[in-house]
Amino acid sequence: MTPNANLFAALRANFSDDLDACAIELADGPDAGQRYSWRDIDRATAMIANLLDSLDLPAGSRVAVQTEKSVEALLLYLAVLRAGYVYLPLNTGYQAAELEYFIGNAEPAVVVCAGKHFGWISKLAFQAKVPWVFTLNEDRSGTLLDRAVQMPDTHQVAAKQPDDLAAILYTSGTTGRSKGAMLSHGNLLSNAEVLRHAWGWRADDVLIHALPIFHVHGLFVASHGALLAGARMLWFNRFEPRAVIARLPDATLFMGVPTLYVRLLEQATLTAEACARMRLFISGSAPLLIETFQEWQRRTGHTILERYGMSETVMLTSNPYRAEDGPRRGGTVGFPLPGVGLRVVDDAGAPCPSTGEGEIGHIQVRGPNVFSGYWRMPEKTKEEFTPDGWFKTGDVGRRDEQGYVTIVGRSKDLIISGGYNVYPAEIEGWLNELPGVAESAVVGVPHPDFGEGVIAVVVPRAGATLDGTTLIAALKDRIAGFKVPKRVFVDTELPRNAMGKVQKNLLRERHRALFG
């Protein structure tokens, strides 16, 4: 008999033997201290899965979710896996125009949103002929739970093959519109199992979970890691540095984007004593400044482990966890994970030498964790893979003679601000639609808190008068806050080369010192 490859089945098999032991503890908000047992997770996911099954959804149906972070939102994700449907997480900052695109492109059968947004989201959903819209709120209220609580609390996990689709993650595209990366049960499980060993996950670990759960880092890497190890989570619905530091003595692991580490370092209570019980701090989703890496060592006595991944691949590389495997080197993302193939090639596709520090080239990868392609974009999928099956990450980097990988840039102009991906072409598209804007250029410049700050330079149409502050206000009504430029400059023209291409490097240099 072929074993069930459903990711939930693997997670469920690794729940604590004591189902009444604490699996998740709320660490903030009015219900701080509330505990969810492993049995609670099993029963709640069963009830939500039974609700989904009662809707008679077609096989492979997508469930699109835009809610605030809560344990119940995590349970919804697990229930979608359990029932065999496809989970579609959406950033809580997305606005109406963005959601209209996602709903139209993915054609979900179910949309779950925060109750406060039901009015406008349900209108978008019903216009797109989505048959079911439910609400789910941070305080455990909403129509989803109202319906689910009436369902049986046992459920047969849906049978799945490794290649069956588990989730679609939308990642912004350089041409403006987002692409849906299709991740299978096999992609996600293979990566979780590799990380379980690579980072030494144990059943007695306690993870401080302070990340959002609408992207790879918080939803997959952190949550899967704890669940697969049968480890407990201290659950923060929001990151607050002083509150997180206060719980470090109760924990063993912490995962964060570089911005979170910067915020923690600002607190006088961050000391070696506070971190004495911790065994591992992990950073990802954006480059960690070497100054932050070194200051963390000095203040806490711990060396942050940096790793590298993407929405399309989950985790690809990691600095060593165990001392015998080598030192954790700041400024690098470590070695390719077991089972992951990684190569650095030049513009012609020839391998770049790895002698010395290694020659800079394009990073390409393959492995069981690499996605199958982009949702309903066969041509784009074909374009992003080499003829011999390697995925072109779009990142530029090098691999030295010891095998350490260093990311040195992004060939597609990607900006990473506070751990979130921002593609200039998408923002430029929104800017260029605003009244009086002839053209625009969006770049990222160094920012002490966010790593990179998004800025824009716009050129007005003939006779038009533009104001940067007004343009920013207009964008805030259209796109997620993390995409909105922090400053917009108005100029008479954009710098161009002889071929007419905008020289964004000159704009970056011109505004390099903007944020100090």
Degrees (nearest 5) of the Cα angle 299, 302, 303? 115
**CATH for 2:** 3.40.50.980
- CB atoms under 10 Å from CB of 448, counted, come to 12
Model pLDDT for residues 45-59, shown as the tens digit of each residue: 999 999 999 999 999
Tell whether the model's pLDDT for residue 306 goes beyond 60: yes
Same domain for 264 and 377, yes or no, is no
The rounded percent of the chain whose pLDDT value lies above 70 is 97
> Is 137 contained in some domain?
yes
What confidence score (pLDDT) does residue 172 get?
60
Same domain for 125 and 9, yes or no, is yes
Q: How many domains does the chain divide into?
A: 4
Model pLDDT for residues 169-181, shown as the tens digit of each residue: 998 644 457 899 9
* Band of residue 412 on the pLDDT scale cut at 50, 70, 90: low
Residue 297: name the closest of 310, 306, 285 by CA. Answer: 306
Instruction: Say which DSSP state 286 is in.
Output: S
> Is 389 contained in some domain?
yes
Model pLDDT for residues 222-252, shown as the tens digit of each residue: 999 999 999 999 999 999 999 999 999 999 9
Same domain for 145 and 48, yes or no, is yes
pTM of the model: 0.88
Same domain for 357 and 335, yes or no, is yes
> Is 175 contained in some domain?
no
DSSP 427-464: HHHHHHTSTTEEEEEEEEEEETTTEEEEEEEEEEPTT-
> Is 194 contained in some domain?
no
> Is 436 contained in some domain?
yes
Q: How far is CA 258 from the centre of its chain?
A: 13
Model pLDDT for residues 360-373, shown as the tens digit of each residue: 899 999 999 999 99
> Is 324 contained in some domain?
no
Same domain for 5 and 148, yes or no, is yes
Same domain for 335 and 386, yes or no, is yes
Same domain for 334 and 217, yes or no, is no
Alpha carbon distance 489, 354 (integer Å)? 42
Same domain for 389 and 489, yes or no, is no
Alpha carbon distance 270, 276 (integer Å)? 11
> Is 442 contained in some domain?
yes
Tell whether the model's pLDDT for residue 417 goes beyond 70: yes
Q: Are 87 and 223 in contact (CB under 8 A)?
A: no
**CATH for 358:** 2.30.38.10
Domain that holds residue 473: 415-510
**CATH for 483:** 3.30.300.30
**Residue after which a domain boundary falls, among 285, 303, 321:** 303
**Residue after which a domain boundary falls, among 258, 288, 303:** 303
Model pLDDT for residues 219-230, shown as the tens digit of each residue: 999 999 999 999
What confidence score (pLDDT) does residue 498 get?
58
**Residue after which a domain boundary falls, among 375, 410, 445:** 410
What confidence score (pLDDT) does residue 146 get?
98
Q: Are 52 and 221 in contact (CB under 8 A)?
A: no
Same domain for 293 and 349, yes or no, is no
Same domain for 341 and 217, yes or no, is no
Same domain for 404 and 484, yes or no, is no
> Is 154 contained in some domain?
yes
What confidence score (pLDDT) does residue 434 get?
95
Tell whether the model's pLDDT for residue 356 goes beyond 80: yes
Same domain for 135 and 152, yes or no, is yes
Model pLDDT for residues 289-302, shown as the tens digit of each residue: 888 999 999 999 99
